[in-house]
């Protein structure tokens, strides 16, 4: 017999949302990202920021106009919010989200959804017991450049994918950035470096557009450019189920950096760089020419088109607005948080490959990775030398 699942407080929350046509939002975590979200919240329609939460009283004191909490559990149970935006250090995403689900509160979480695949799955399992909205802050999905690239790939216009390549090395970060929080760039506090902090966006977009690879082999530089214990340089080789291959290169220690996404298929090549999408179309199937041409050095006729798009999307504000619209109107989420497990899995697989010096199959063994991460935490002797305050402008940074 199947026992129906009844989410705690969900019916009353849903009814209140419909009656008031307003989502009462609480932000937990008032660091770089949380304070940035608070500053932009007035741009979101039908959303009232009613509460803020942080363990630092000095940060709370900056927002006397909102109800203040020093503990996320108290805010979630207060009755003052319908939804929570989680912008705390990565490990706490899991515990806060699960607590919110168990108390009938909708969740929008910053990236990464979780530090590792096992924790992401725990969040997904907790959410599955409810009818609540669970979104992820993958704001780059609002960018029409990536939306159009995905459309071309998924529509079949590019043909079957043969090769992918993303060089994303314009994530330059200084020593001051890494010193801006005691949790940053440590296995215990952040669970990784560039893959867990900056590249969740790129990894999400990569799989959103091209799908998940089946095997990963990666090489990482551990504190190659900075005084940190985690990765600040990564070169990864990907193999896809259809035999296609890919390369993913990133770092926070290179300037000037490159951001070039290249996807090659049987019917052409897409290149996105410097704000432009170029689609080099082949006039016929490359495989067909390869297999049937009587010429030894045949060429494949092509035509080049620039795919024009307008702007870079609504970014963080659009993501919050979409979250609110999903709660009030049932609008589909741009980034359902359960999809966030894919970027987490890719990051984990790259780190696991570098740790073990071997190729990692996907699906990743989540338990094995979690155990390896705990071992790195337990054996770490790294000590952060200084912590300084820093702020981030959400209009100028993905992370």
pLDDT (tens digit per residue) in 17-34? 444 699 999 999 999 899
Sorted by where each begins, the domain ranges of the chain are 10-140+316-334, 141-312+342-379
CATH number for the segment(s) 10-140+316-334: 3.40.50.720
**Peptide bond preceding 112 in cis form (omega within 30 of 0):** yes
Calculate the CA 34 to chain-centre distance: 16
Q: Is the pLDDT of residue 14 over 50?
A: no
Q: Is the pLDDT of residue 1 over 60?
A: no
Q: For residue 314, which of 120, 161, 139 has the smallest C-alpha distance?
A: 139
- Residue 47: phi and psi, rounded to 5, are -135, 125
In this structure, what DSSP letter does residue 231 have? E
> Confidence class of residue 393 from pLDDT cuts 50, 70 and 90?
low
Task: Tell me the C-alpha distance between 365 and 349, whole Å.
Answer: 9
Range name among 84-88, 181-185, 219-223, 227-231 with the lowest pLDDT average: 181-185
pLDDT (tens digit per residue) in 354-367? 999 999 999 999 99
**Peptide bond preceding 37 in cis form (omega within 30 of 0):** no
Whether the Cβ atoms of residue 203 and residue 346 lie closer than 8 Å to each other: yes
Task: Give the number of residues written for the chain.
Answer: 399
Task: Tell me the C-alpha distance between 219 and 242, whole Å.
Answer: 23
> Confidence class of residue 384 from pLDDT cuts 50, 70 and 90?
confident
Q: How many Cα atoms are found within 13 Å in the side-chain-facing hemisphere of 248?
A: 29
Q: Is the pLDDT of residue 93 over 50?
A: yes
**What is the fold of 141-312+342-379?**
Dihydrodipicolinate Reductase; domain 2 (3.30.360)
- Residue 132: phi and psi, rounded to 5, are -80, 160
Residues 6+ apart with CB under 8 A from 54: 28, 29, 30, 31, 34, 60, 70
> Confidence class of residue 392 from pLDDT cuts 50, 70 and 90?
low
> Confidence class of residue 182 from pLDDT cuts 50, 70 and 90?
confident
């Amino acid at each position: 017999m199947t026992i129906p699942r009844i989410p705690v407080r969900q019916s009353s929350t849903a009814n209140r949302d419909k009656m008031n046509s307003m989502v009462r939002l609480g932000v937990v975590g008032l660091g770089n990202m949380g304070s940035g979200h608070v500053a932009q919240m007035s741009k979101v329609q039908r959303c009232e920021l009613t509460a803020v939460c942080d363990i630092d009283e000095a940060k709370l004191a900056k927002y006397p106009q909102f109800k203040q909490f020093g503990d996320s559990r108290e805010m979630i149970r207060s009755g003052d919010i319908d939804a929570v935006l989680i912008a705390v250090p990565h490990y706490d995403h899991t515990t806060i989200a699960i607590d919110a689900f168990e108390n009938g509160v909708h969740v929008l979480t910053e990236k990464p959804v979780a530090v590792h695949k096992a924790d992401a799955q725990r969040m997904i399992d907790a959410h599955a017991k409810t009818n609540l909205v669970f979104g992820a802050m993958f704001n780059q999905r609002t960018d029409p450049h990536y939306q159009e690239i995905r459309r071309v790939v998924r529509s079949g216009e590019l043909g079957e994918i043969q090769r992918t390549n993303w060089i994303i090395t314009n994530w330059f970060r200084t020593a001051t950035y890494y010193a801006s929080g005691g949790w940053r760039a440590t296995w215990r506090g952040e669970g990784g470096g560039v893959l867990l902090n900056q590249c969740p966006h790129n990894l999400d977009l990569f799989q959103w557009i091209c799908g998940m690879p089946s095997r990963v082999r990666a090489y990482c530089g551990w504190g190659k450019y900075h005084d940190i214990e985690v990765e600040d340089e990564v070169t990864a080789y990907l193999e896809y189920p259809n035999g296609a291959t890919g390369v993913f290169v990133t770092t926070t220690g290179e300037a000037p950096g490159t951001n070039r996404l290249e996807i090659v298929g049987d019917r052409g090549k897409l290149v996105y760089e410097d704000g432009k999408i170029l689609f080099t179309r082949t006039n016929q199937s490359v495989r067909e020419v390869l297999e049937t041409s009587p010429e030894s050095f045949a060429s494949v006729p092509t035509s080049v088109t620039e795919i024009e798009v307008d702007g870079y999307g609504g970014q963080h504000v659009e993501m919050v607005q979409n979250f609110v619209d999903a709660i009030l109107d049932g609008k589909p989420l741009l980034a359902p948080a359960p999809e966030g497990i894919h970027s987490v899995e890719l990051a984990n697989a790259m780190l696991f490959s570098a740790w073990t010096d071997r190729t990692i199959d996907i699906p990743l063994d989540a338990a094995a990775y979690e155990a390896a991460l705990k071992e790195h935490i337990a054996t770490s002797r790294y000590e952060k030398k200084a912590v300084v305050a820093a702020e981030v402008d959400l209009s100028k940074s993905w992370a």
